[in-house]
Amino acid sequence: FQPKLLQGKHVLVTAGPTFEAIDAVRGITNSSSGKMGYAVARAALEAGAAVKLISGPSCLKPPLGAEVVNVVSAQQMLKAVNEAVNWADIFIGVAAVADYYVLNPSEQKIKKDAHILTLELAPNPDIVSNVVNLPDPPFCVGFAAESENLYEYAEMKRRRKNLPLLAANLVQTAVGGDENELVLFDDVGAHPLPRAPKITLARQLIAHIANLYQKTLTM
Ligand code: C5P
């Protein structure tokens, strides 16, 4: 009998984009389908974990067995993460969180006219950094989408965010499609995972996480 890699562990995953309202119908968002995050949640379930999936707006059907919390904005996502984070052994931030929110969104649809419209934007909280900086954080994994200099930017991001593991992908390959290509960055170095369906990469990522997480328990 081979026990599953994450049997009995609690895994918290964020996925999808966030949507920051401008008015009753318009908003600012990132292009993210949620496919990678949902695949990571599914792979964690297959590995025997209990999974909470906090998802921004996505058309996808969540994996069977995950407890799903649907949110819209980054601030709602942060609140949902804070409510679940003490439960989690492992946190995986796959969501493409909008960097800014609109300071004074209009409750009604703004009527268009010939004038220039100025939006005031304020920075959103960094959810993954909030989690990493908790007094007793879960094992934290970040994602990075870059459009160039993937190796350099991703490793810089991993260090800046103080993450033991960061999975990086090129925006050009990652967004929307069913396949992806990842490079995992950890304290040992870079581990490229060749192009494959997102679920295959998610399973490889979960195996890598389980291995590193196991080591933190024996430290
Ligand atoms: O800095 P950047 O947005 O590229 O970092 C990406 C990583 O940080 C992802 O894991 C993403 O989910 C997380 N993030 C976050 N909150 C933000 C911005 C990014 O959790 N406001």
Structural domains of the chain, with CATH: 10-218 (3.40.50.10300)
Distance CA 91, CA 94 (A): 10
Distance CA 157, CA 126 (A): 13
**Helix, coil or strand: residue 97:** coil
The pLDDT tens digits for 11-38 are 999 999 999 999 999 999 999 999 999 9
Establish whether residue 93 lines the binding site of ligand 1, counting it when its CB lies within 6 angstroms of any ligand atom. Answer: yes
Closest ligand 1 atom to Cα of 74: 21
Longest distance between any two alpha carbons in the chain, whole Å: 70
Establish whether residue 30 lines the binding site of ligand 1, counting it when its CB lies within 6 angstroms of any ligand atom. Answer: no
Where do we find the tokens 């007094």? 135
Active-site annotation holds for 211 = no
215 is in an annotated binding site: no
Give the per-residue pLDDT at 186.
98
- Flag whether the pTM goes above 0.80: yes
pLDDT at 175 over 90: no
Of 30, 124, 169, 180, the catalytic one is 30
Average pLDDT, the chain: 96
Cα(55) to centroid of ligand 1, in Å? 14
**Helix, coil or strand: residue 179:** strand
The pLDDT tens digits for 128-141 are 999 999 999 999 99
Cα(217) to centroid of ligand 1, in Å? 26
Distance CA 162, CA 164 (A): 7
109 is in an annotated binding site: yes
**Ordered DSSP codes for 32-84:** --SHHHHHHHHHHHHTT-EEEEEE-S--SPPPTT-EEEE--SHHHHHHHHHHH
ipTM for the complex shown: 0.92
Q: Are 4 and 47 in contact (CB under 8 A)?
A: yes
